[in-house]
Each structure stands twice: as C-alpha cells, then as structure tokens.
C-alpha cells in the first residue's frame, strides 16, 4: 500500500491551512479597527450560536492526542475505552443543567475568578499558575507534537520540526482573532473531523473485509471483527482471576471494570468539562439557553466519538 501523499492531498491541506489562517487574520485586522475590550476578545462578544459553541467544545477536546492515543488504547482494550466519551456526554448534561446557571448568574468568566469569589485570591492564583504551566508544557506541546508526528508519518518522516513550527504558526493566526474566530473555525474543524473520522472507519472496515476475501463490504468487515475478536467488544473489562493472563490484568488496570462508570471517570469529566478554562470559555459568553443548547449538542457529538476516533 502506498502511504505517501499525492499532489492533490498536499493541495487540499495547503488550501485548508491558508483559508482558516486567512480568516483568523481577517478578523484580527477587523478588530484592530474597532473598539473591543477583553470581554469581546475572550468571549466572542456573546455572538456564538449554540451549534458553534457545541462544535467548538468538541474541537477543543478532540485533537491528535485522541486520534493517536485513544485509537491505540482502543486497539489494546477494545470498545470499553468508549467509557471516557460516553461518561463525558452524561457529565456535559450535568454541567449544562447545574454548572452554567451558577457561572452566568454570577458573571464568572474564568475559573480563577470563580475561586477568588468562592475562596480567596491565593487559591485563584495557585490555580491560574498551575493551569498555565499545564497548558503550555503539557496540553499545547503534546497536541503540537502528536499532530506533527501524525502528519510527518504521511509525508515521509523527515519533516517533524518544520511541521511543529507550522502548526504553531497556524494556531497563532487563529488565536489572533479571539474567541469568535476560534468558535467559528472550530465548526470547520469538527465538520472535517466527523467526515474524515467516518470515512476512515469505513475504509478500515472495508480493508478488513477485503483481507478476509469478503469484498469491499464494511458491514462484513465489522461482523468479522466481532467474530474474530469478541473480547474487544466488551464494554466492561472483567476482573482478573488467578488464572488470568498478564495481558488481561493490564487491561483491567487501564479500565477497571464497572468501577470505570461509577468512580474516577466522573471526577475527571466534571473537572475537565466544568472547571477547565479553555473548555468552559466557549459557553460563558452566551446567554443561558444558548450555552445549554451548545453544551448538550457537544454531548450528542461525544456519543459519536468512539466511531469517529
């Protein structure tokens, strides 16, 4: 199989990058000529629609780390890894119903501001510094690196550092326009993500079908997977016994059975979706109904992630 990109692939990628970057730069130049305060910049002037908020939440969440890491985890433990996504969908409902009214009623625009109001400036400062270092040295670097690794594998394996620089510049252009640009460009990102993810799933199942001599039939490929690897279609990893293999024990350590659905995952998801600045920021500039609809739309999209990613 030829893994190299064709000239048409390069053309599509270049046009996509130029188009989205140009849009971000246009909004940036436009805002320089208008009076805009920090609230306008960070909260999109309250102009994001519910579908833009929902799409932006998903685009902020799903990136190269999911496409590489979650796919690898799914290959290792199976469909049980979907617990991350499906519990997140339930957590988003809780956040839409209970968290957002508190934030919007008290005009909370940042999580440190919330902690300052609830506790004191020291707690707010600690969280601000902690999350700043986490974003810069963990989130952003891992996303840029893994994205560059994925693209680098497609273009021959010798462009890692230029790709990281290019992705960083691309992100900078989008960010210059503020949350409005980020929100509406995220709609494009999510559309590409969904279409590309579904296409990849279809092609992968078709390849499985062909490898077993069943022709180009994605459904037949899926049935073959269920027949040959039934252990990968268990939503709950069974607790190991004394006779269990080391592989089964490792799977249980990663996803500890039914406790995944009732214990730690709730803490992680409520913190990530409800107290994470670059996530909640998408909805804080809207009215309550729009914010709730956007978050619920994001929850609906999360249900699709195991198929897309």
* Residue 184 pLDDT exceeds 70: yes
Angle at 295 between CA 95 and CA 261, to 5 degrees: 55
Asked whether the beta carbons of 94 and 270 are under 8 A apart, the reply is: yes
* Residue 37 pLDDT exceeds 90: no
Average pLDDT, the chain: 81
Model confidence, pTM: 0.81
Q: Give the separation between CA 309 and CA 307, rounded to whole angstroms.
A: 6
CA nearest to 31, candidates 155, 176, 151 = 176
Q: Give the separation between CA 303 and CA 309, rounded to whole angstroms.
A: 11
Task: Identify the pLDDT of residue 308.
Answer: 84
CA nearest to 170, candidates 29, 17, 9, 58 = 17
Residue 287 three-state SS: coil
Task: Identify the pLDDT of residue 263.
Answer: 74
CA neighbours closer than 13 Å in the CB half-sphere of residue 160: 6
How does pLDDT run across 185-244, given as a tens digit for each residue?
788 888 888 888 888 889 888 998 888 888 888 888 888 888 888 888 888 888 888 888
| Superfamily of the domain at 7-206+232-308 | Sodium/glucose cotransporter (1.20.1730.10)
Whether the CA torsion 230, 233, 235, 241 is positive or negative: it is positive
Q: How many residues does the chain have?
A: 309
Listed by start position, the domains of the chain span 7-206+232-308
Task: Identify the pLDDT of residue 36.
Answer: 58
pLDDT tier, 122 (very low <50, low <70, confident <90, very high otherwise): very high
Mean pLDDT of 245-274: 82
């Amino acid at each position: 199989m030829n893994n190299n990109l064709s000239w048409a692939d390069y053309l599509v990628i270049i046009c996509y990058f130029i188009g989205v970057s140009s849009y971000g730069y246009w909004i940036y130049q436009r805002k320089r000529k208008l009076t805009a305060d920090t609230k306008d910049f960070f909260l999109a002037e309250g102009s994001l629609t519910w579908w833009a908020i929902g799409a932006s939440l998903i685009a902020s969440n799903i990136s190269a780390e999911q496409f590489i890491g979650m796919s690898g985890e799914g290959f290792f433990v199976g469909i049980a890894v979907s617990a991350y996504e499906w519990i997140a969908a339930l957590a988003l409902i809780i956040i839409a119903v209970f968290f957002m009214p508190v934030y919007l009623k008290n005009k909370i625009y940042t999580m440190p501001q919330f902690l300052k109001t609830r506790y004191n400036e020291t707690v707010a400062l600690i969280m601000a510094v902690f999350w700043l270092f986490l974003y810069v040295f963990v989130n952003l670097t891992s996303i840029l690196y893994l994205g560059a690794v994925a693209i680098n594998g497609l273009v021959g394996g010798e462009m890692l550092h230029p790709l990281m620089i290019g992705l960083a510049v691309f992100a900078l252009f989008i960010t210059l326009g503020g949350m409005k640009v980020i929100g509406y460009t995220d709609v494009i990102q999510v559309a590409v993500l969904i279409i590309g993810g579904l296409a990849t799933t279809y092609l992968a199942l078709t390849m499985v079908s062909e490898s077993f001599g069943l022709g180009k039939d994605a459904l037949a490929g899926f049935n073959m997977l269920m027949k040959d690897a039934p252990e990968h279609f268990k939503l709950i990893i069974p607790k190991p016994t004394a006779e269990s293999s080391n592989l089964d024990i490792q799977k249980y350590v990663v996803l500890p059975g039914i406790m995944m659905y009732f214990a730690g995952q709730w803490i992680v998801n409520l913190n990530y979706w409800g107290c994470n600045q670059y996530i909640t920021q998408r909805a804080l500039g809207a009215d309550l109904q729009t914010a709730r609809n956007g978050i619920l739309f994001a929850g609906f999209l999360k249900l699709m992630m195991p198929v897309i990613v």
